[in-house]
Amino acid sequence: MYEATLGQSIIMASTVFDSLLFRDAFGTPAMRAVFSDRTLVERYIEVEVALARAEARCGVIPADAAETIAATANFDGLDLERLRQETDNVGYPILPLVHQLVKQCGDAGRYVHWGATTQDIMDTADVLRIHAGLAIIEADIAALRGILAGLAHMHRDTVMAGRTHLQQALPITFGYKAAIWLAMFDRHAERLEQLKPRVLVGEFAGAAGTLASLGDKGLAVQAAFCAELGLGVPTTTWHVARDGFAEVVNLLALIAGSLGKIAYDIMLLASTEFAEVYEPFVTGRGASSTMPQKRNPISAELMLAASKGVRQQAGLMMDAMVQDLERATGPWHAEWIALSESFVLTAGALHQAKFALGGLIVDAGRMRENLGLSKGLIVAEAVMMGLAPFTGRQEAHDIVYAACRVVNEHGGTLAEALLHDPAVTRHLDAAAIEQLTDPANYLGAAADMVDRAVAASRARG
Position 81 confidence tier, pLDDT thresholds 50, 70, 90: very high
| C-beta atoms surrounding 128 within 10 Å | 23
Residue 216 lies in a domain: no
pLDDT at 293: 56
Distance CA 293, CA 404 (A): 37
What percentage of residues in the chain have a pLDDT greater than 70? 95
Taking CA atoms, 332 is separated from 85, 245, 461, in Å, by 21, 11, 37
Proportion of the chain in helix, strand, coil states, percent, rounded to 5: 65, 5, 25
Number of domains, the chain = 3
pLDDT at 283: 65
Residue 342 lies in a domain: yes
Nearest alpha-carbon partner for 306 in 27, 89, 49, 1? 27
Distance CA 423, CA 110 (A): 96
Total length of the chain: 461
> Of 370, 403, 423, which closes a domain?
370
pLDDT at 234: 94
Residue 1 lies in a domain: no
342 has catalytic annotation: no
Same domain, yes or no: 388 and 357: no
* Rg, Å, the chain Cα set: 30
Same domain, yes or no: 89 and 167: no
Encode pLDDT of 152-187 as tens digits.
999 999 999 999 998 888 999 999 999 999 999 999
Residue 90 lies in a domain: yes
Mean pLDDT for the stretch of residues 368-377: 90
Going 232 to 237 to 243 to 249, the CA torsion angle's sign is positive
Same domain, yes or no: 340 and 415: no
Q: Is 326 within 8 Å of 240 (Cβ atoms)?
A: yes
Looking at per-residue pLDDT, the higher value among 390 and 3 belongs to 390
pLDDT score of 354 more than 70: yes
Q: Is 259 within 8 Å of 307 (Cβ atoms)?
A: yes
Contacts 24+ apart (CB under 8 A), 399-405: 399/423, 399/424, 404/377, 404/380
Same domain, yes or no: 340 and 323: yes
pLDDT at 284: 58
Domain that holds residue 429: 377-436
Cα-Cα-Cα-Cα torsion 36, 39, 45, 50, nearest 10 degrees, comes to: -130
Distance CA 15, CA 453 (A): 40
Residue 98 lies in a domain: yes
Task: Calculate helix-pair angle for 37-57, 118-154, nearest 10 degrees.
Answer: 120
CATH of the domain at 388: 1.10.40.30
Phi, psi of 6 (to 5 degrees): -130, 105
Same domain, yes or no: 73 and 141: no
> Of 71, 89, 111, which closes a domain?
111
Residue 3 lies in a domain: no
Mean pLDDT for the stretch of residues 190-201: 96
Position 56 confidence tier, pLDDT thresholds 50, 70, 90: very high
pLDDT at 121: 95
Encode pLDDT of 288-303 as tens digits.
555 545 578 889 999 9
Same domain, yes or no: 243 and 364: yes
pLDDT at 350: 97
Going 301 to 304 to 310 to 316, the CA torsion angle's sign is negative
Catalytic option among 165, 188, 213, 307: 165
Distance CA 252, CA 341 (A): 11
> Of 86, 111, 136, which closes a domain?
111
Alpha carbons within 13 A on the beta-carbon side of 79: 11
299 has catalytic annotation: no
Taking CA atoms, 334 is separated from 126, 206, 241, 313, 322, in Å, by 13, 22, 14, 9, 11
Same domain, yes or no: 251 and 350: yes
**How many helices and strands in the chain, by DSSP H and E?**
19, 6
pTM: 0.90
Same domain, yes or no: 318 and 413: no
Residue 226 lies in a domain: no
CATH of the domain at 316: 1.20.200.10
Same domain, yes or no: 99 and 127: no
Same domain, yes or no: 360 and 391: no
Same domain, yes or no: 179 and 78: no
Q: Write down the H helix ranges in 174-241.
A: 174-199, 218-229
Nearest alpha-carbon partner for 331 in 344, 318, 346? 318
Encode pLDDT of 225-282 as tens digits.
999 999 999 999 988 889 899 999 999 999 999 999 999 999 999 999 999 999 887 7
pLDDT score of 4 more than 70: no
Residue 13 lies in a domain: no
pLDDT at 19: 74
Mean pLDDT for the stretch of residues 305-332: 87
| C-beta atoms surrounding 190 within 10 Å | 11
Going 443 to 447 to 448 to 450, the CA torsion angle's sign is positive
Give 324: exposed, middle or buried? Use CB within 10 Å, 0-12, 13-18, 19+. Answer: exposed
Same domain, yes or no: 319 and 197: yes
Looking at per-residue pLDDT, the higher value among 169 and 33 belongs to 33
Going 365 to 371 to 374 to 376, the CA torsion angle's sign is negative
E-only strand ranges, 19-79: none
Distance CA 312, CA 308 (A): 6
